[in-house]
Amino acid sequence: EVQLLESGGTVVQPGGSLRLSCAASGSTFSRFDTTWVRQSPGKGLEWVSTIKADGTTTYYSDSVKGRCTISRDRSQTTIFLQMISLRVDDTATYYCAKDFNAIDAGMDVWGQGTTVTVSS
């Protein structure tokens, strides 16, 4: 069974950058689309970015487009989210999640989340 583990969350100043990681155990990402979802304190879920199973096709929400890059390592066991020009409203818990299958909506495996705080 696939398990996901995020890391890289920290406190960073506005304008700073960081890289989040999502490591998969029990499988690789080569078969699944993988998505970053964030949740600001006390708020709902927000889709951030998705990388397709092909490892090259990527999508971003308007709120992070141009400031985030999603990628996958060559071993296909880790997904990254590189974030630059961070803003206070990027403060959130960031989750990675994998699609259940290639056809239907639904992400069946989620990590426990990693917390990013953007503050001066």
Partner 1 sequence: ETVLTQSPGTLSLSPGERATLSCRASGSLRSGLLAWYQQKPGQAPRLLIYGTSSRATGIPDRFSGSGSGTEFTLTISRLEPEDSAVYYCHRDGVSTRAFGQGTKVEIK
Q: Cβ-count burial of 67 within 10 angstroms (0-12 exposed, 13-18 middle, 19+ buried)?
A: middle
Among candidates 30, 42, 48, which has minimal Cα distance to 99?
A: 30
Query: Which of 13, 41, 56, 104 is close enough to bind partner 1 by CB under 8 A?
Result: 104
28-87 positions binding partner 1, by CB under 8 A? 35, 37, 44-47, 50, 59, 61
Of 7-15, 17-25, 72-80, 110-118, the window that binds partner 1 (rule: CB under 8 A) is: 110-118
**Contact range with partner 1 by CB under 8 A, out of 14-22, 70-78, 84-92, 109-117:** 109-117
> Which of residues 80 and 94 has its CB atom nearest to partner 1 in the complex?
94
Residue type, 14: P
CB nearer to partner 1: pick between 52 and 87: 52
Q: Cβ(69)–Cβ(59) under 8 Å?
A: no
Binding region for partner 1 (CB under 8 A): 35, 37, 44-47, 50, 59, 61, 95, 97, 100-101, 103-108, 110-113
